[in-house]
């Protein structure tokens, strides 16, 4: 017998986890399907990185924040399928969504797509010498900082993640180089200002080649080149690459009409996270609409809106929003709050 869910959430990152929590508030039978072996999405790649800009939350490491999100997301015991890749979503004659995966077919009344930037694949450094397999000091993910203690670290990239890493290594690394091909770092202004006090910043510059010791399989130095075609070498103990992620979002949406996209990737929605396919909603980085807040905090409002629309799609007479959580009996049954 088929198990039919009210809502199936594709993606177990921040938007997906908060969608699961909010769907629980709305008494919806909920399922999460996640490609990775663990919940948490992209934040799992930065467990020691400090997150500064979440309302009501003092600075917190990515690892600690994800554990809190997972705990909250599991409040109402949604069904979770890990290591599961969604291949195709269709709608059958019963007006149920059929979600085909590598582990079977799932059935749902509504779908919330919360896949972020798709399956997480950090963009690789494509220069001479970097193609060698398993260079032990070339990093695309930083899971712990202690390995950099007393070391010379070169960070390639100028966005928020790169600059956050550089700032957090201030009291750990011996010296830090930040290399960015643009003429201005694109991270938060306050973080860039702080960086200038302790890092060597190379603007309009990129890595041209890396050189590794064959015996240790470790990079010893790199050649940099600037916009004037001037080249110079920098000795390094570690290189961290923060060039973003390849956007691998290969789900096939097979409906009578196409699912509208933005830039051939993001899902076009309205401000309430409706897509042009009735019953399909989006939340988090994958959703694109006027007024979108492209920060972690924005995914929570996306999730709430998507769940509210899914609830009304199933039950048109339902309230537009969930009951305030402080007055919600379902929450109170799961938590004993200190008075």
Residue ranges of the annotated binding site are 34, 42, 46, 86, 120, 285, 326
**Alpha helix (H) ranges present in the chain?**
14-25, 62-73, 160-168, 189-195, 298-314, 329-334
Residues annotated in the binding site for FAD, as ranges? 34, 42, 46, 86, 120, 285, 326
CA distance 154 to 248: 27
CA distance 30 to 27: 9
Strand order in the sheet with 205-213: 205-213, 218-226, 231-235
Cα Rg of the chain (Å, integer):
22
Q: Which residues contact 31 (CB under 8 A, 6 or more apart)?
A: 5, 7, 8, 9, 78, 79, 80, 81, 106, 108
Q: Which helix (H) or strand (E) holds 226?
A: strand 218-226
């Amino acid at each position: 017998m088929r198990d039919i869910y009210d809502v199936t959430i594709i993606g177990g990152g921040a938007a997906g986890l908060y969608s699961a929590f909010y769907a629980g508030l709305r008494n919806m039978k909920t399922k999460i399907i996640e490609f990775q072996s663990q919940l948490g999405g992209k934040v799992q790649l930065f467990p020691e990185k400090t997150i500064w800009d979440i309302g009501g939350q003092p600075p917190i490491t990515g690892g600690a924040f994800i554990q809190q999100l997972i705990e909250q997301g599991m409040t109402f015991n949604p069904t979770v399928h890990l290591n599961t890749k969604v291949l195709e979503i269709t709608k059958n004659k019963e007006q149920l969504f059929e979600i085909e995966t590598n582990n079977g077919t799932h059935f749902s009344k509504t779908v919330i797509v919360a896949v972020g930037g798709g399956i997480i694949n950090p963009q690789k450094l494509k220069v001479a010498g970097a193609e060698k397999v398993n260079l032990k000091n070339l990093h695309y993910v930083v899971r712990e900082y202690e390995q950099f203690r007393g070391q010379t670290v070169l960070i390639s990239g100028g966005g928020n993640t790169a600059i956050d890493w550089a700032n957090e290594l201030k009291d750990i690394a011996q010296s830090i180089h930040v290399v960015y091909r643009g003429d201005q770092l694109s991270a938060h202004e306050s973080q860039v200002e702080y960086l200038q006090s302790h890092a060597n910043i190379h603007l309009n510059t990129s890595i041209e080649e890396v050189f590794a010791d064959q015996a240790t399989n470790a990079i010893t130095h790199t050649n940099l080149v600037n916009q004037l075609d001037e080249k110079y070498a920098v000795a390094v103990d570690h290189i961290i690459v923060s060039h973003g992620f390849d956007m691998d979002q290969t789900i096939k949406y097979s409906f009578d009409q196409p699912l509208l996209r933005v830039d051939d990737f993001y899902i076009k929605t309205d401000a309430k996270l409706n897509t042009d396919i009735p019953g399909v909603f989006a939340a988090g980085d994958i959703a694109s609409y006027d007024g979108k807040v492209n920060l972690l905090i924005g995914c929570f409002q996306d999730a709430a809106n998507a769940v509210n629309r899914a609830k009304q799609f199933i039950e048109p007479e339902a309230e537009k929003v969930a009951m305030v959580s402080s007055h919600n009996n379902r929450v109170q049954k799961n938590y004993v709050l200190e008075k």
